[in-house]
Amino acid sequence: MKSVIQRVEDGEITWTEYQGLNIKRREFKSISEYQNELAKKKGYIDYNDYHREKEYESGRQKSMYDNKNCSMYLGVHIAERILSKIWDNVIRMSIGNIGYDFICGKGFKVDVKSSCIVTSLREHELKSYEVHNWFFNIKKNKIADYFLLIAFDNREDLTPLHIWLIKGDKIVNKSKLNDKISLIIYTHLKSVNKLKEYEQTDKLEKMKKCCEELGEK
Protein backbone atom coordinates (compact mmCIF):
# COMPACT_ATOMS: atom_id res chain seq x y z
CA MET A 1 0.00 0.00 0.00
CA LYS A 2 1.34 3.38 -1.02
CA SER A 3 2.16 5.99 1.60
CA VAL A 4 0.53 9.41 1.39
CA ILE A 5 3.85 10.96 0.30
CA GLN A 6 4.15 8.42 -2.53
CA ARG A 7 0.62 9.23 -3.67
CA VAL A 8 1.57 12.92 -3.78
CA GLU A 9 4.77 12.19 -5.72
CA ASP A 10 2.85 10.00 -8.18
CA GLY A 11 0.31 12.77 -8.72
CA GLU A 12 -2.61 10.85 -7.30
CA ILE A 13 -3.36 13.57 -4.75
CA THR A 14 -2.23 17.20 -4.48
CA TRP A 15 -0.18 18.76 -1.67
CA THR A 16 -3.31 20.65 -0.63
CA GLU A 17 -5.20 17.37 -0.33
CA TYR A 18 -2.24 15.93 1.59
CA GLN A 19 -2.41 18.85 4.03
CA GLY A 20 -6.14 18.28 4.35
CA LEU A 21 -5.55 14.65 5.31
CA ASN A 22 -2.93 15.69 7.86
CA ILE A 23 -5.32 18.24 9.34
CA LYS A 24 -8.07 15.65 9.67
CA ARG A 25 -5.72 13.06 11.14
CA ARG A 26 -4.21 15.50 13.66
CA GLU A 27 -7.62 16.99 14.53
CA PHE A 28 -6.86 20.57 13.50
CA LYS A 29 -9.71 22.87 12.49
CA SER A 30 -7.99 24.45 9.46
CA ILE A 31 -4.81 24.59 7.39
CA SER A 32 -3.79 27.86 9.07
CA GLU A 33 -4.12 26.29 12.53
CA TYR A 34 -2.00 23.34 11.37
CA GLN A 35 0.65 25.65 9.82
CA ASN A 36 0.79 27.79 12.96
CA GLU A 37 1.36 24.72 15.12
CA LEU A 38 4.20 23.49 12.88
CA ALA A 39 5.81 26.96 12.95
CA LYS A 40 5.58 27.14 16.76
CA LYS A 41 7.40 23.81 17.04
CA LYS A 42 10.24 25.40 15.07
CA GLY A 43 10.41 28.31 17.52
CA TYR A 44 8.35 30.89 15.61
CA ILE A 45 5.32 32.85 16.85
CA ASP A 46 3.11 31.54 14.03
CA TYR A 47 3.25 30.65 10.33
CA ASN A 48 3.35 34.31 9.25
CA ASP A 49 6.42 34.83 11.45
CA TYR A 50 8.04 31.75 9.88
CA HIS A 51 7.20 32.85 6.33
CA ARG A 52 8.45 36.39 6.98
CA GLU A 53 11.79 35.09 8.25
CA LYS A 54 12.18 32.88 5.16
CA GLU A 55 11.57 35.93 2.98
CA TYR A 56 14.36 37.74 4.83
CA GLU A 57 16.73 34.77 4.47
CA SER A 58 16.12 34.61 0.73
CA GLY A 59 16.90 38.33 0.39
CA ARG A 60 13.47 39.21 -0.96
CA GLN A 61 12.85 41.42 2.08
CA LYS A 62 15.20 43.23 4.46
CA SER A 63 14.82 41.94 7.98
CA MET A 64 13.63 44.33 10.66
CA TYR A 65 16.35 42.77 12.82
CA ASP A 66 18.99 44.45 10.63
CA ASN A 67 17.22 47.76 10.07
CA LYS A 68 17.29 50.13 13.04
CA ASN A 69 15.32 52.75 11.10
CA CYS A 70 12.39 50.39 10.74
CA SER A 71 9.59 51.10 13.23
CA MET A 72 9.11 47.36 13.73
CA TYR A 73 12.76 47.03 14.78
CA LEU A 74 12.13 49.20 17.83
CA GLY A 75 8.64 47.92 18.58
CA VAL A 76 9.01 44.21 17.91
CA HIS A 77 12.66 43.18 17.83
CA ILE A 78 13.66 45.31 20.81
CA ALA A 79 10.61 46.18 22.94
CA GLU A 80 8.40 43.10 22.61
CA ARG A 81 11.23 40.59 22.40
CA ILE A 82 12.84 41.83 25.60
CA LEU A 83 9.61 42.29 27.51
CA SER A 84 8.77 38.63 27.10
CA LYS A 85 11.96 37.94 29.09
CA ILE A 86 11.52 40.40 31.94
CA TRP A 87 7.84 39.67 32.62
CA ASP A 88 6.70 36.25 33.81
CA ASN A 89 3.83 34.24 32.36
CA VAL A 90 3.08 36.47 29.38
CA ILE A 91 1.53 35.28 26.13
CA ARG A 92 2.95 37.10 23.13
CA MET A 93 0.55 37.77 20.27
CA SER A 94 1.35 37.46 16.56
CA ILE A 95 3.00 40.45 14.89
CA GLY A 96 0.30 42.89 13.80
CA ASN A 97 -2.31 41.64 16.26
CA ILE A 98 -5.00 44.32 16.56
CA GLY A 99 -5.20 46.25 19.82
CA TYR A 100 -2.62 44.53 22.01
CA ASP A 101 0.73 42.72 21.95
CA PHE A 102 0.66 40.63 25.13
CA ILE A 103 -1.68 38.97 27.55
CA CYS A 104 -0.19 39.13 31.03
CA GLY A 105 -0.33 36.42 33.66
CA LYS A 106 -3.51 37.93 35.11
CA GLY A 107 -5.29 37.86 31.77
CA PHE A 108 -5.04 41.58 30.93
CA LYS A 109 -4.36 42.73 27.35
CA VAL A 110 -1.28 44.93 27.10
CA ASP A 111 -0.41 47.21 24.18
CA VAL A 112 3.32 47.98 23.95
CA LYS A 113 4.36 51.42 22.70
CA SER A 114 7.97 52.51 22.32
CA SER A 115 9.60 55.80 21.38
CA CYS A 116 13.01 57.42 21.07
CA ILE A 117 13.58 61.05 22.01
CA VAL A 118 12.32 63.46 19.37
CA THR A 119 13.84 66.94 19.13
CA SER A 120 11.91 69.83 17.63
CA LEU A 121 12.42 73.57 17.36
CA ARG A 122 9.95 76.06 18.83
CA GLU A 123 9.70 79.81 18.90
CA HIS A 124 8.54 82.08 21.70
CA GLU A 125 8.84 85.86 21.80
CA LEU A 126 11.18 85.84 18.79
CA LYS A 127 13.45 83.29 20.45
CA SER A 128 14.01 79.73 19.24
CA TYR A 129 14.60 76.80 21.55
CA GLU A 130 14.72 73.03 21.33
CA VAL A 131 12.09 70.75 22.83
CA HIS A 132 12.82 67.09 23.60
CA ASN A 133 10.04 64.55 24.06
CA TRP A 134 8.78 61.01 23.53
CA PHE A 135 5.78 60.47 21.26
CA PHE A 136 3.49 57.48 21.82
CA ASN A 137 0.80 56.61 19.28
CA ILE A 138 -2.28 55.55 21.30
CA LYS A 139 -4.89 55.72 18.48
CA LYS A 140 -7.81 55.78 20.92
CA ASN A 141 -7.28 52.08 21.54
CA LYS A 142 -10.10 50.71 23.70
CA ILE A 143 -9.15 47.05 23.20
CA ALA A 144 -6.09 47.02 25.46
CA ASP A 145 -6.52 47.01 29.23
CA TYR A 146 -3.07 48.50 29.81
CA PHE A 147 -0.45 50.42 27.85
CA LEU A 148 3.22 49.71 28.40
CA LEU A 149 5.21 52.78 27.33
CA ILE A 150 8.95 52.39 26.81
CA ALA A 151 11.12 55.49 26.41
CA PHE A 152 14.52 55.02 24.73
CA ASP A 153 17.31 57.55 24.28
CA ASN A 154 18.02 57.10 20.54
CA ARG A 155 17.99 54.47 17.79
CA GLU A 156 21.74 53.97 17.83
CA ASP A 157 22.27 53.24 21.54
CA LEU A 158 18.73 52.06 22.34
CA THR A 159 19.13 52.57 26.07
CA PRO A 160 15.76 52.37 27.88
CA LEU A 161 15.28 55.39 30.16
CA HIS A 162 11.73 54.88 31.42
CA ILE A 163 9.03 52.21 31.47
CA TRP A 164 5.47 53.20 32.36
CA LEU A 165 2.57 50.78 32.79
CA ILE A 166 -0.73 52.67 32.65
CA LYS A 167 -4.29 51.38 32.68
CA GLY A 168 -6.24 52.51 29.64
CA ASP A 169 -8.94 54.39 31.55
CA LYS A 170 -6.50 56.36 33.76
CA ILE A 171 -6.52 60.15 33.44
CA VAL A 172 -3.23 61.31 31.93
CA ASN A 173 -2.81 64.99 31.08
CA LYS A 174 -6.49 65.80 31.63
CA SER A 175 -8.07 62.91 29.69
CA LYS A 176 -8.26 59.12 29.70
CA LEU A 177 -5.27 57.53 28.06
CA ASN A 178 -7.38 55.37 25.75
CA ASP A 179 -9.28 58.47 24.58
CA LYS A 180 -6.09 60.01 23.22
CA ILE A 181 -4.79 59.83 19.68
CA SER A 182 -1.27 60.25 21.02
CA LEU A 183 0.61 60.97 24.23
CA ILE A 184 3.59 63.29 24.40
CA ILE A 185 5.91 63.08 27.40
CA TYR A 186 8.66 65.69 27.65
CA THR A 187 12.08 64.71 28.89
CA HIS A 188 12.22 67.38 31.59
CA LEU A 189 11.65 66.33 35.19
CA LYS A 190 8.28 68.08 35.62
CA SER A 191 6.70 66.11 32.78
CA VAL A 192 8.28 62.79 33.78
CA ASN A 193 7.27 63.18 37.43
CA LYS A 194 3.60 63.37 36.45
CA LEU A 195 3.84 59.68 35.59
CA LYS A 196 5.92 58.67 38.61
CA GLU A 197 3.22 56.36 40.02
CA TYR A 198 3.29 54.31 36.80
CA GLU A 199 7.06 53.96 36.60
CA GLN A 200 8.33 50.35 36.50
CA THR A 201 11.78 50.89 38.02
CA ASP A 202 12.61 47.23 38.69
CA LYS A 203 11.62 46.20 35.15
CA LEU A 204 13.68 49.06 33.73
CA GLU A 205 16.86 47.72 35.31
CA LYS A 206 16.19 44.24 33.94
CA MET A 207 15.49 45.68 30.51
CA LYS A 208 18.74 47.64 30.50
CA LYS A 209 20.66 44.42 31.13
CA CYS A 210 18.79 42.66 28.32
CA CYS A 211 19.48 45.53 25.92
CA GLU A 212 23.18 45.42 26.80
CA GLU A 213 23.31 41.69 26.12
CA LEU A 214 21.46 42.20 22.84
CA GLY A 215 23.94 44.87 21.79
CA GLU A 216 26.87 42.56 22.44
CA LYS A 217 25.59 39.93 20.02
We report the CATH number of the domain holding residue 130 as: 3.40.1350
Is the CA virtual torsion 156, 59, 98, 179 positive or negative?
positive
121 and 32 within one domain: no
Over residues 199-214, the pLDDT tens digits come to 999 888 888 877 676 5
Supply the range of the domain harboring residue 40: 4-58
208 and 182 within one domain: yes
Q: Side-chain half-sphere of 56: how many Cα atoms within 13 Å?
A: 12
105 and 21 within one domain: no
Where residue 105 falls among pLDDT bands split at 50, 70, 90? confident
141 and 71 within one domain: yes
35 and 71 within one domain: no
Stated length of the chain: 217
Over residues 146-200, the pLDDT tens digits come to 999 999 888 777 788 999 999 999 999 889 999 999 999 999 999 999 999 999 9
First to last CA, the chain: 51
184 and 142 within one domain: yes
Number of domains within the chain: 2
Mean pLDDT of 35-42: 74
Give the end of a domain, one of 58, 76, 94. Answer: 58
Residues in Cβ contact with 66 at an 8 Å cutoff, skipping those fewer than 6 apart = none
Q: Is the pLDDT at 94 greater than 50, yes or no?
A: yes
Give the end of a domain, one of 58, 83, 98. Answer: 58
User: Of the given ranges (9-23, 92-106, 166-180), which has the lowest mean pLDDT?
Assistant: 9-23
